[in-house]
Amino acid sequence: MFGLFAKTFAPQIRRLGVDDGAACAALHASAFAFPWPQGDIETLLLERTTVADGAFGSKTDDLQGFILCRLAADEAEILTIAVAPRKRRKGLAGRLMTASIARLSTLGAKSLFLEVEAENTAARALYKRFGFATVGERKSYYRKADGTPALAYILRRTIV
């Protein structure tokens, strides 16, 4: 019974459109030290090669998490993923990744890449769980919140 209740009120995953740009930008700003401008996110949401999913509150319909991926031939990249701080550790990022990976698969993607800051333990644990392996690194690719350079890893996994 509780399982049914939890499922009924679980956030709904659905595709994002350009109208979701403002909500994505606000959520991105709550998750990263260097937020992306709303206009840049809207441009991505308009691109045919972008695969974007959001998690929306079942009653409130507010955006609680989102993922943006880009497809180029048979390679895809996770551009960003973020979950609202108060909604973390409830499986939302996992559900968003599963939804986007399934769609990327149907669109012909065979590999999925991403970059993650070495000190981002939450994201690295998430990606490990999804079968990503380190295939490279970039020194000084990111900046930490205090402006100092940060090491990033390039991760990859196959998509079947």
Ligand X SMILES: CC(C)(COP(=O)(O)OP(=O)(O)OC[C@H]1O[C@@H](n2cnc3c(N)ncnc32)[C@H](O)[C@@H]1OP(=O)(O)O)[C@@H](O)C(=O)NCCC(=O)NCCS
Per-residue binding letters, 49-88, with ligand X (x by CB under 6 A): ----------------x---------------xxx----x
Residue 114, CB-side half-sphere exposure with 13 Å CA sphere: 24
Residue pointed to by tokens 């031939």: 73
CA–centroid distance for 105 within its chain: 16
Nearer to ligand X, 102 or 108 (CB): 102
* 138 touching ligand X, by CB under 6 A: no
Residue pointed to by tokens 């996994």: 157
Interface residue with ligand X, options 116, 132, 142, 159 (CB under 6 A): 116
How many angstroms separate the CA atoms of 61 and 72, rounded?
31
* 122 touching ligand X, by CB under 6 A: yes
Q: Which spans of this chain sit near ligand X (rule: CB under 6 A)? A: 31-32, 65, 81-83, 88-94, 116, 120-123, 125-126, 129
